[in-house]
Amino acid sequence: MEPTTGARAAVTEGRAGAAEPAIRFDGVTKRFGDTEAVKDMGIEIRRGEFFSLLGPSGCGKTTTLRMVAGFEQPSEGRIFLEGKPVEAVPPYRRNVNTVFQSYALFEHLDVADNVAFGQQRKKVPKAEIKTRIAEALELVQLTGREHAKPRELSGGQMQRVALARALINRPAVLLLDEPLGALDLKLRKQMQVELKQIQREVGSLSST
């Protein structure tokens, strides 16, 4: 399913022969006080699948993504990532990355440093970071813009930088929270095509 404005999406890494789904919700309910944001959800998202959540504002789309990422915990039920329950796993230990509608880029850093930020925090060797930056920017078609600052980029290019920053970590699951909502119609249609292309390339590159 193609991502649309108002959609939350989960893009999962493809792995040949893997039996367990990338994400599984087993009877998941989330309450905020007397309000049920998510009720008795049971879904499976396979590896290599592009899965979109569509619905009106307030129907629980973002809450669902936040539970996968670990920023919210289910009131009932269990969530499994790659076959393992994750209720006791903090967000920073989950093999999941999120791309937000606002992009959340660091204005004082150039494209390369924005993309590399997570890897630098993890103390990954500089040579490996450099290789990963080049791979990620090639994937999102931003090779040559390594030294540009966010203010020098278009909305579509900033979206690509945010994607590259997530993809450089090689997550099993990539969460997109209204990934196209801030773009105009022309850019939205272009990014729909490019997101699917990136998903296919990431899946093939990650297959074992």
* 141 has a pLDDT exceeding 90: no
Contact between 133 and 112 under an 8 Å Cβ cutoff? The reply is yes
In the chain, CATH 3.40.50.300 sits at: 1-95+172-208
* 63 has a pLDDT exceeding 60: yes
What pTM was computed for the model? Answer: 0.75
Q: Are strands 50-53 and 76-81 parallel, antiparallel or unpaired?
A: unpaired
Contact between 163 and 198 under an 8 Å Cβ cutoff? The reply is yes
Question: Which segment of 12-26, 57-71, 125-139 scores lowest on mean pLDDT?
Answer: 12-26
Split at pLDDT 50, 70, 90, the class of 204 is very low
In CATH terms, the fold of domain 1-95+172-208 is Rossmann fold (3.40.50)
- In this prediction, residue 16 carries a pLDDT of 46
